[in-house]
Chain A
Amino acid sequence: MRYYSKIKENVMFSFLLCFIFLFCFTLSQGWSLELTGAGATFPQPVLEAWAYQYYKETGIKINYQGIGSGGGIRQAKSRTVDFGASDKPLKSSELREYNLAQFPEIIGAVVITYNLPLHNKTLRLDGRAICDIYLGKIKNWNNPYLKKLNPDINLPDLPIIVVHRSEGSGTTWLFTTYLSKVCSEWKNKIGAEKSVNWPVGIGAKGNPGVTNYVKQTLGAIGYVEYTYAMENHLPIAILKNRSGNFVKPSVKTMKAAAFYAKWSIKKDFYADLTYQPGRDSYPITGASYILLIKDNPKTKEVTKFFKWAFENGDEIAKKLHYIPLPKNLKYLIYKYWKIQKVYPY
């Protein structure tokens, strides 16, 4: 009899524990707020770093899934996430149709990397050269036009092996947008999109795929994200900008490009940072965008997070080789939030 009562006691106790546990769990669920976002892979590292710091400071969790810009746009339209992210901005008409708002959150760039025995000298290219290489018109590194651009380099007699991204990507969109701007033949024949009908070259998967292939192959040329190139210490070509200067991608030159871009609230920040005027502007610069869902009650929490990131996140972004937005643009974004009635306070 005593034995049974002891079991009974134990059972009662464990039930009690379960209830307490469940109660605490639901309570914590109720208190802590979670935001989910999905989209481009390009801003994923910086968004995650911001989210981690934000969670430590406020207890609000932000889950970001880097599923690609197309997926981010689709999920924002179908309301399965609290915010989307895209490397390619949406047109105002499309935003209005789906009751969305958008703003840029970070700036990045695409760089040209190559594999040539140049002995610590840096390759110089301009829009026409890149365009002709990617169109298949310049087939060899000792082409006279390339030689003219690089008078101090002894370019070898090597076939150019062109490498591009195999999957749809915001990086490709930025690169082809640049090419369409500097080269009318590219614009008419190929155009700018996240994946295009490449006239020459081979496709490699992701930034790592392009990098690896270029690293292995003598005479290869490819384009990758700036952050990726910096972390892997790849050779980066110097590009001629609109003002005729040869510039290296860096914080300074990308900021210069962002400074000259025509940001406008009316156009929902639909802007193009490629091939901007300015002495220092790096020509293949681009912004990554956040899509806000205007009818989602959590949207003000999303803007709160980004306001926090704009105020406190610049150092984190720089450490990861991203370029934070210029100050005037941040104020413009706050103004835009107020107009769209999604300002956090």
Chain B
Amino acid sequence: MFQKSPYIETFTRYFLGFWAVFTGFIFPLIIFLILFYESRLAIQKFGFLQFLTSTSWDPVRESFGALPMIAGTLISTFIAIIIAAPISIGIAIFITELAPSWLKGFVITCVELLAAIPSIIYGMWGFLILAEVMRNKVEPFLQTVLGPIPLIGKLFSGVPTGVDVLTTSLVLSIMIIPFMASVVKDAFNLVPSVMKESAYGLGATKWEVIKDVVIPYTASGIAGGLILSTGRALGETMAVAFLAGNVPQIPKSLLEPFTTITVALANQFTEADTPLYLSSLFYLSLFLFIISFIILILAKLMVLRLEKRWKK
């Protein structure tokens, strides 16, 4: 008697529909509008282009520009993904294709546990332990090996400090590996076994099956994993705050300190006491909002294109 009531059904539909629309559309819109409203002072003062291209971040003279933070965010995210992508694809291949069944569950759990570690722990570990190793061992080694090579040597110039682009990207990549690996693994599991078996039947080796069947079939899944982790790396604050060195400059080498948008916000919000300073910080967060939006849209389009190509 209860289930047949038409009111319940309509009510449920509207209720759930409301929440879906609210959280998916209205809520982000409200955030955008609030950020826009709060940053009005900075928008009036600096405009769009000047704020985007200016490299000075000087609270004393109240001249603010977002380029160093934007560059820092994009560079660290990009390098982290470059490091993390092959490793996570490797982990996924190992789990789905190579590992004996008794090891599978163990490896999956281990990788997933990596995702459960709070980011502040990564930050503290990176700052207290990894930074020291990087400064004393890894970075001098890289400098002696890669330093003499033209172009690439430039990337490793400067005094090794341990808190820089390289260490940050490394820790970021460790943080995003579990996300990427688990999405890619799920995608690999979806490859129909008929396809793999027929490839084996045609005399393909394991490597050829992975290279020619599994990876092309799951390209969109891999792209999905990349997107998910890009989102995480873009917004990561706590671990980066420990490791970035927090200097608003565009890093010219991998061993230079830098800062990202979220770190600049976290560091400066509490002490920003002039209206323009506060407003500029809001403007900065508006930029982050827009950047993550654009990146996610681009990534979504990429997935759609890949899916289409596969369907042909």
Verify B159–A203 contact, CB threshold 8 A.
Answer: no
Q: Which of B56, B246, B257, B272 has the most CB of A within 10 A?
A: B246
Q: A161 interface residue, CB < 8 Å from B?
A: yes
- Tell me whether A202 is interfacial, beta carbon within 8 Å: yes
B114 interface contact, C-beta 8 A:
no
Which residues of the partner chain B approach A169 to less than 8 Å between Cβ atoms?
A: 271
Q: A193-B60, A197-B56, A202-B257 are in contact. Are A70 and B247 (CB under 8 A)?
A: no
B273 and A205 contact, CB distance less than 8 A: no
Q: Are B242 and A192 in contact (CB under 8 A)?
A: no
Q: Which residues of chain B are near A204, meaning CB under 8 Å?
A: 163, 246
Q: Which residue of A lies closest to B271 (CB)?
A: A168
Shortest CB-to-CB span from A96 to chain B, Å, is 17
Given contacts A161-B159, A195-B267, A212-B128, contact A69 B273 (CB under 8 A): yes
Cβ contact of B270, chosen from A71, A191, A202, A212, cutoff 8 A: A71
B271 with A201: CB separation less than 8 A: no
| Residue of B60, B131, B248 most packed against chain A (CB within 10 A) | B60
Contact B61 A203 (CB under 8 A): no
Q: How far is the CA of A169 from the CA of B270 in the complex (A)?
A: 9
B175 to chain A, nearest CB (A): 18
**Bound complex: CA of A159 vs CA of B267, how far in Å?**
27
Contacts of B244 in A (CB 8 A): 203
B127 at the interface (CB under 8 A from A): yes
Interface residues of A in 103-157 (CB under 8 A from B): none
Once the chains bind, are A70 and B242 in contact (CB under 8 Å)? no
Least CB distance from B63 to A in Å reads 9
Q: Shortest beta-carbon distance, B72 to chain A, in Å?
A: 12
Contact A168 B267 (CB under 8 A): yes
- Do A205 and B241 form a contact, CB below 8 Å, given A70-B271, A73-B273, A196-B59? yes
Secondary structure at the B interface, as helix, strand, loop or mixed, is loop
Bound form: Cα–Cα A69–B241 in Å: 20
Contact A203-B245, Cβ < 8 Å, known A195-B59, A197-B58: yes
Instruction: Tell whether A45 is near chain B: CB-to-CB under 8 Å.
Output: no
Q: Give every chain A residue within 8 A of B268 (Cβ-Cβ).
A: 167-168, 195
With a 10 A CB-CB cut-off, give which of A161, A193, A196, A209 has the most chain B CB atoms. A193
Q: Would you list which residues of chain A between 239 and 263 have a CB under 8 Å from chain B?
A: none
- Nearest Cβ distance between residue B248 and chain A, in whole angstroms? 7
| A 38-59 binary contact with B (CB < 8 Å = 1; else 0) | 0000000000000000000000
- Do B247 and A202 have beta carbons less than 8 Å apart? yes
User: Footprint of B on A, CB under 8 Å?
Assistant: 67-71, 73-74, 159, 161, 166-169, 190-198, 201-205, 209, 212-213, 216-217
7 sampled A-B residue pairs with Cβ under 8 A: A73-B273, A168-B59, A196-B60, A202-B247, A203-B247, A217-B161, A217-B162
**A-B pairs with the 5 shortest C-beta distances?**
A168-B271, A203-B246, A68-B270, A166-B246, A191-B60
